[in-house]
Chain A
Amino acid sequence: MDDLRAAVQVIFRDVFDDPEIALQENTTAGDIEGWDSLMHINLIVAIEKQFRVKFATAEISGLKSEGQNVGSLLQLLASKLAPPPRPVK
């Protein structure tokens, strides 16, 4: 998870143009200056491109809603990146 957080942190720094951003699991949208609905889209687009994943409509809105934080983003991303479970023999 730390590797993933580091990779996502690079994207955050690029998108928000702020090399000082340090992501913690409990970082929320309110903690990062300029994380408005426009920047949220920029962030989603950059993450989708980098990791070749796709967020569902509800997930895009969900990630910025009350009670969500960077931890929830990382978990969601990890679940999309995880290899599919092997079929039971």
Chain B
Amino acid sequence: MTAQHDLESRLEEFLSAAEDERQKPFRELTTALKDSVKAERFDEAAAVLRRATLPSLDYTSLQTLYRIFALLHCRLASPKQVARLAIMSSFTTKQLTQLIELFLFAAGVAAEIYEADYGVFHQEILDPDSGLYDFKPKTLFLATSWRDLLHTPALSDDLHKVRTLVEAELAHWSSLWEMVHDRLGCQIVQNNCASPPWRVLHNHELRHPGGLARFVSEINRAFVDHAPAFVTIHDADHLAATAGRWSWASERFFHHAKLPCAPEYLPDYAHSISSIILAQLGLVKKCLVLDLDNTLWGGVIGDEGLGGIRLGQGDAEGEAFQAFQRYVRDLRLRGVIIAVCSKNEEALAREVFEKHPEMVLRLDDISRFIANWNDKASNLNTIAEDLNIGLNSLVFVDDNPAERALVRRFVPEVAVPELPADPSEFIRALELHRYFQVVSLGVEDYKRTEYYQTNAARREAQASTRNVDEFLESLQMVARIGPIDATSLERSAQLINRSNQFNLTTRRYSVADLLAFTKSENWITRTVSLADRFGDNGLISVLLAKLEGEVLLIDTWLMSCRVLKRGVEHFLLNHLYKVAQEQGVNKIRGEYIPTVKNGLVRDHYAQLGFKQIGTEEDGRTSWELSITEGFTPRRVFMQEMRTNG
């Protein structure tokens, strides 16, 4: 057995072990990992360590993995994505910080971390010469708790008084956020308050104006209602509630070491924070791929038939499967793409969706339906290709351990959560991983799955017209164009952080960065939204350009692949040419930075009539369009509507 094979099989034994039987395979895995570090097989060890870092691991095991990570990480080539994170708190964050670092590493992101001394976050924020401003983070995590609230009411305060206290508290925190944002332009992750487990007023605590739990919940509500777009409110209260408030808020470890919660819940806490940072970097999953038999219903449709499978009312397990389907449908409604990958006769499998009265999921919920006898690894490849997304955007859910092991082995990019035998635990098993973390939700998200359906209608229309121009004409497109504003800010950030294919430079920017661009006189920002007779595609293209003397330099040009070949890029070029004239520059410059995924736009500038002016060793090319030499606008098939431009 080769060393690499040994490490891989140790990993699989560990990943497939039930949670209460993980100790032995874990020990063997960590021994093998340490051996491979000693043998200087760093990359291999890192790959396995990443996949072993599960949010379901206990505190002690994750500490062991962290120590292996600490041995390793300086020996690795630095990953492409870096999270520059400052953590400031009123409690001990040492362990929390280590675990955040570990979970970010597991997702392929290097963390550069500044940890302020415990309890000095006010000074750090107020003092312009503090370590915080010297470090210049991209994200600041304000790890606070209810103990940091400055305006907690007295029991005798009436409703009116408490209202002014809530306002004063909110004003205090808002001023801290704004100060940091003005000086650094960074994103802020602000804890809300986990309500303490005790209530001196017991049941009356929420109703009495001066009750502490009531005040805490009002503050939490005020935070989410009034936090600006550059502040993400981290729902620490939910962590405490799902764990059980007494177990979570360990008073023992708070008094002993000022830990924010019991050590056993630190992994979940750190995972929650790292999932937010990853979502801000655009590293979320996009598609849930489901097996059918014993995953969406009980039993095997091929053996037991429509009447034999267990699903829905009258059977406890059948109800659990139905509840899981409802959860999946709700994920779809908020924009997660759903696909099916099953070993089945296709007609039989489809029939369940069409005819079974207790099915919650219907065929039109499923963006790609594959039921055949091929191996699931190649089917997953097909699904990723057809949906035009990366394998690392897929989460594969299957009750069969052998299928899970096969997929992990042959398509390691796909996330494959362990699934408990009992369907009533499926939802929890998925939730634990926070695969589909959300930092903002726009209309675009819950419309997304509709795009996939209207796209099918467009494809039919294409078949019935004779040439491309005629087809484009028939779409009756309307393009809305304008600078990034409050309504388009979050969607723009989302596209900037998620688009990989039609993306010339793949530069990632946060909401805070974009806000800074919109305020700067040197930056031109544009978004394009596109509607046609089949529906509204929403915001589909972002362009950022910088004025540098006589040159307008295109920093970022990207577009959603939903609207390829519609001529949006020609439309945008015509617009940009006008902007360049208005600004009085004489050249537009653009660059192409190649990545594994953006081969699609290699010739983008050539096709738009730019002249190539440079090639670097790493493959990047630069291009130029003269404004003074005359320009024939491209023919476009869309009507232009300007928004506040």
A binding-site residues for B, Cβ under 8 Å: 14-15, 17, 37-38, 41-42, 45-46, 49, 56-57, 60-61
Contact = CB atoms under 8 A, between A and B. Distances in A.
A56 B253 CA distance: 10
A45 B255 contact: no
Contacts of A49: 58, 60, 264
| Chain A interface, >50% SS class | helix
Given A17-B67, A37-B257, A42-B63, 5 more contacts: A38-B95, A49-B58, A49-B264, A60-B253, A61-B256
Interface residues of B, number: 17
B94 interface: yes
Contacts of A46: 60
B259 interface: yes
B263 interface: yes
B94 A57 contact: no
A50 B58 CA distance: 12
B255 A15 contact: no
Nearest to A54: B252
Contact of A41 (B58, B67, B255, B263): B263
B382 interface: no
Contact of A45 (B60, B64, B67, B94): B60
B217 to A, nearest CB: 29
B256 A14 contact: no
Contacts of B59: 42, 45
Contacts of A41: 95, 253, 256-257, 259, 263
Nearest to B94: A38
Contacts of A56: 252
Nearest to B68: A17
A38 B264 CA distance: 14
B64 A14 contact: yes
Interface in B47-82: 58-60, 63-64, 67
Contacts of A38: 94-95
A42 B94 contact: no
A34 to B, nearest CB: 10
Contacts of A15: 60, 63
A57 B255 CA distance: 8
Q: Shortest 8 CB-CB distances between A and B: which pairs?
A: A46-B60, A45-B263, A57-B252, A60-B256, A17-B67, A57-B255, A42-B63, A38-B94
A60 B263 CA distance: 14
Nearest to B266: A45
A57 B256 contact: yes
A49 B472 CA distance: 66
A34 B388 CA distance: 50
A56 B255 CA distance: 11
Given A38-B95, A45-B264, A60-B252, A14 B60 contact: yes
B96 to A, nearest CB: 11
A61 B253 CA distance: 10
Nearest to A46: B60
A60 B259 CA distance: 14
Contact of A42 (B60, B251, B252, B255): B60
A41 B94 CA distance: 12
Nearest to A41: B257
A87 B491 CA distance: 70
A12 B60 CA distance: 12
Interface in B114-150: none
A61 to B, nearest CB: 6
Contacts of B67: 17
Contact of B64 (A17, A57, A61): A17
Nearest to B253: A41
A61 B256 CA distance: 7
Contacts of B58: 49
Interface in B382-425: none
Interface string B255-294: 1110100011000000000000000000000000000000
A41 B91 CA distance: 15
A52 to B, nearest CB: 13
Contacts of B255: 57
Contacts of B252: 56-57, 60
A49 B22 CA distance: 14
A37 B263 CA distance: 14
B25 to A, nearest CB: 15
Contacts of B264: 45, 49
A14 B65 CA distance: 11
17 contacts: A15-B60, A15-B63, A17-B67, A37-B257, A38-B94, A41-B263, A42-B60, A42-B63, A45-B59, A45-B263, A45-B264, A49-B58, A49-B60, A49-B264, A56-B252, A57-B252, A57-B256
